[in-house]
Amino acid sequence: MPLPTVILPGYLESGVAYRSLEQSLQQLGFPAVTVALRRRDWIPTLGGRSVTPILQQLDATVKQILQQCNTSQINLIGHSAGGWLSRIYLGEKLYSGRGEVTSSVWQAHPVVATLITLGTPHVSQERWTRWNLDFVNQHYPGAFYKNVRYVCVAGKTIFGQRRRGSWLAYSSYQLTCGNGNTWGDGITPIEAAHLEGAQNIVIEGVRHSPRSSPMWYGSPEPLKAWVQYLV
């Protein structure tokens, strides 16, 4: 039987937005559950502050599904910021975010068989995000844990340019990797969505958000490109 899969939403997103992905995985035979975040749960993390409240909810979900399925490992899917949050969760270093008095450590890498990141900006030039991402990349560069399979999925959909229709993509890419004139999913550029040493995948035509139309990473067709790694 396939390992259970936990889905961690992206920044400022709720778990409800991932219900369709969760159901698609279940129909394919993969037990799946989404961390039941609400949009307001992200408020304490705004302005580059500690992401510990989100990681605590992730940890509670993982422990619950491990017990329910009577298993010792899970697969973890992190969308957008959920991908680099998952890398903190795997780690053994004390994490103390801005504005946090106490430090936390989860050491979850032994219980995660595969980490799949969807449109995750693994680097950032944006000052509020950079503190957390610098922590991740300094302590856990690339596909850091050899006992975890890392799969990083990027979208090739919009080329960033300073003109109508691609200005948002240009600005987001510029803020993420320092180069606006590049390909990405409309929010995250390809070069920021991949990690050294990971299984890096590019899917054409997908947009960043689960609320995007007509297709995002978790839509039925793009799903086929990465779901095999949950086996």
pLDDT tens-digit series, residues 97-122: 776 766 789 999 999 999 999 999 99
pLDDT of residue 57: 98
In DSSP terms, 7 is beta-bridged to: 34, 77
pLDDT of residue 102: 67
CATH number at residue 141: 3.40.50.1820
Cα–Cα distance, 13 to 150 (Å, whole number): 23
pLDDT in tens, 138-190: 999 999 999 999 999 999 999 999 998 899 999 999 999 999 999 999 999 99
Mean pLDDT of the chain: 95
pLDDT of residue 81: 97
Share of residues in the chain with pLDDT > 70 (%) = 98
Report which of 146, 174, 148 is spatially closest to residue 159, judged by C-alpha positions: 174
- The residue written with tokens 């920021």 in the block is 192
pLDDT in tens, 54-87: 999 999 999 999 999 999 999 999 999 999 999 9
Looking at the 3D structure of the chain, how many domains does it have? Answer: 1
Confidence grade of residue 213 (pLDDT, cut at 50, 70, 90):
confident
- pLDDT above 70 for 2: yes
Cα–Cα distance, 95 to 136 (Å, whole number): 9
H-helix or E-strand spanning residue 116: strand 112-118
State the average pLDDT over residues 108-137.
95
Cα–Cα distance, 172 to 43 (Å, whole number): 21
pLDDT of residue 99: 64
pLDDT of residue 101: 63
Whether this model's pTM surpasses 0.85: yes
Q: What is the DSSP letter of 29?
A: T
Buried b (16+ CB within 10 A) or exposed e, 128-150: ebeebbebbbeebeebbbeebbb
For residue 104, the enclosing domain spans 5-230
Cα–Cα distance, 109 to 89 (Å, whole number): 8
